């Protein structure tokens, strides 16, 4: 029983937590639908500069979007509870890039220490190999004996002197050969050391570039998949074209095919004209027009203040625009002043726009348009799920005539 009671208690807690989460999500959805989205924009323009500032806010400080435009400068920011989201993302990305650079530098430093160890070993090898030079130096010390012999042979007859000189030149030649061999070995050691350092740098480079190579490989795979999709689509299009060509070839000569195209175009035009003249289309268009005008009125700013001064190079065109604005003057805001300039071409403005939008209102108007029976029937007719002739026959039966059937 104790285990069962604890299990029921745990399930009750889990149920409460889930219920709280569901209620929180529903409350958030209701706030998204019922809370207004307020917007504000300010435009300032003169002969040299153009500036626009504005933003959209939801529940005051909870969520806010701000933009700034000054000539060619642009700025855009998103705030959640007063926290700049995009700025934080940029700083996090920069910090990540810096940490990656530091890791690369540390890896390069570690590879440098690894490279120096073989160099030390090679230096020891060189030092070990240079020991024969020491022996050669001792040999050179020993090879001074022919010189002594030459010095002694100068006191002896000429034959002994010539023999000592020959031995001296022979020893000198051997020393030169040994020195050449030693320089050749040193060059080979230097080349081997360079190859070793190059291999180590290549290894460190491959280690450093392994993430980039992985990204490149993934990118190549994605591109290959896209290419395969494109090839499949191209094959489908080619198959359709071939089927269309076969139909054309079976239909007859070129004149007959062109005549068939013209007839099909004329048939589509006739079908469209019949659709436009139906009561169903007119009622659907009226419903969509009414809903669209209501949404547009709801979105338009409620308050506009400031002034706009404009002028064109042609004073006649400026007068025409002023006449159109005079016709709209009763609908224009009282705090907005429009000043035409007939002397020069100019545009100056300092205006402020304010308004708000309810998402629930836009959704309701959209549902009214979509759920209208004439709109749904029009969609079915356009998709060719319902033949137009059937709709026209039904309208004729209702009206008792056939005026829309011709």
pLDDT value, residue 333: 80
Please give the Cα distance from 305 to 307 (Å, whole number).
Answer: 7
pLDDT value, residue 405: 44
Question: Helix axis angle, 359-370 relative to 279-299, nearest 10°?
Answer: 180
Q: HEC string of the chain?
A: CHHHHHHHHHHHHHHHHHHHHHHHHHHHHHHHHHCEEEEEEEEEECCCCEEEEEEEEECCCCEEEEEEEECCEEEEEEEECCEEHHHHHHHHHHHHHHHHHHHHHHHHHHHHHHHHHHHHHHHHHHHHHCHHHHHHHHHHHHCCHHHHHHHHHCCCCHHHHHHHHHHHHHHHHHHHHHHHHHHHHHHHHHHHHHHHHHHHHHHHHHHHCHHHHHHHHHHHHHHHHHHHHHHHHHHHHHHHHHHHHHHHHHHCCHHHHHHHHHHHHHHHHHHHHHHHCCHHHHHHHHHHHHHHHHHHHHHCCCEEEEEEEEECCCHHHHHHHHHHHHHCHHHCCCCEEEEECCCCCEEEEEEEEEEEEEHHHHHHHHHHHHCCHHHHHHHHHHCCCCCHHHHHHHHHHHHCCCHHHC
Q: Please, is 187 exposed, middle or buried when counting C-beta atoms within 10 Å of its C-beta (0-12, 13-18, 19+)? A: exposed
Please give the Cα distance from 268 to 231 (Å, whole number).
Answer: 32
Please give the Cα distance from 141 to 229 (Å, whole number).
Answer: 83
Question: In the block, which residue shows the tokens 């007839």?
Answer: 263
CB atoms within 10 A of CB 118: 15
pLDDT value, residue 208: 52
pLDDT value, residue 248: 61
pLDDT value, residue 200: 67
Please give the Cα distance from 263 to 89 (Å, whole number).
Answer: 60
pLDDT value, residue 12: 92
Helix (H) or strand (E) holding 146: helix 145-153
Encoded tokens for 303: 């308050």
pLDDT value, residue 260: 73
pLDDT value, residue 281: 92
pLDDT value, residue 299: 92
**Could you read off the pLDDT tens digit of each residue along the chain, which spans 406 residues?**
788 888 888 999 999 999 999 999 999 999 999 999 999 999 998 888 888 999 999 988 889 999 888 878 888 899 988 888 888 888 888 888 888 888 888 777 776 544 444 444 444 444 444 444 444 444 444 445 555 554 554 555 555 566 667 777 777 788 777 788 878 888 888 777 777 777 666 655 544 556 667 777 888 888 888 888 888 888 888 888 777 677 666 555 555 567 778 888 888 898 889 889 888 899 999 999 999 999 999 998 888 889 898 888 888 898 888 888 888 777 778 788 888 888 888 888 999 999 999 999 999 999 999 999 999 999 998 888 888 888 888 888 887 754 444 4
């Amino acid at each position: 029983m104790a285990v069962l009671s604890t299990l029921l208690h745990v399930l009750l807690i889990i149920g409460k937590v889930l219920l709280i989460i569901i209620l929180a999500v529903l409350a958030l959805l209701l706030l998204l639908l019922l809370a207004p989205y307020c917007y504000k924009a300010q435009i300032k323009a003169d002969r040299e500069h153009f500036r626009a500032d504005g933003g959209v806010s939801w529940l005051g400080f909870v969520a806010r979007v701000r933009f700034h435009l000054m000539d060619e400068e642009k700025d855009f920011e998103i705030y959640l509870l007063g926290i700049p989201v995009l700025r934080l993302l940029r700083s996090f990305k920069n910090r990540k890039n810096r940490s990656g650079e530091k890791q690369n530098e540390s890896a390069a430093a570690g590879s440098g220490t690894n490279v120096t160890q073989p160099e030390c070993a090679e230096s020891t090898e060189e030092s070990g190999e240079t020991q024969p030079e020491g022996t050669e130096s001792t040999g050179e010390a020993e090879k001074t004996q022919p010189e002594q012999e030459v010095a002694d042979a100068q006191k002896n007859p000429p034959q002994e002197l010539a023999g000592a000189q020959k031995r001296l030149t022979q020893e000198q030649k051997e020393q030169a050969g040994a020195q050449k061999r030693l320089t050749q070995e040193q060059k080979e050691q230097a080349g081997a050391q360079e190859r070793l350092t190059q291999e180590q740098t290549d290894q460190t480079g491959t280690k450093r570039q392994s993430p980039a190579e992985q990204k490149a490989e993934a990118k190549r795979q994605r591109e290959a998949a896209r290419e395969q999709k494109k090839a499949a689509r191209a094959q489908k299009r080619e198959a359709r074209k071939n089927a269309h060509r076969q139909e054309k070839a079976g239909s007859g000569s070129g004149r007959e095919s062109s005549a068939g195209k013209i007839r099909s175009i004329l048939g589509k035009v006739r079908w469209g004209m019949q659709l436009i003249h139906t009561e169903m289309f007119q009622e659907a268009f009226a419903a969509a027009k009414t809903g669209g005008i209501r949404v547009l009125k709801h979105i338009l700013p409620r308050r506009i203040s400031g002034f706009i001064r404009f002028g064109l190079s042609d004073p006649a065109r400026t007068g025409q625009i002023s006449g159109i604005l005079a016709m709209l003057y009763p609908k224009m805001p009282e705090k907005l002043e429009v000043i035409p300039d007939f002397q020069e071409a100019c545009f100056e403005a300092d205006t402020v726009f304010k308004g708000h939008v309810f998402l629930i209102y836009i959704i309701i108007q959209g549902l009214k348009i979509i759920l209208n029976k004439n709109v749904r029937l029009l969609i079915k007719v356009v998709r060719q799920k319902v033949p137009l002739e059937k709709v026209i026959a039904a309208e004729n039966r209702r009206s008792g005539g056939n005026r829309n059937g011709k």
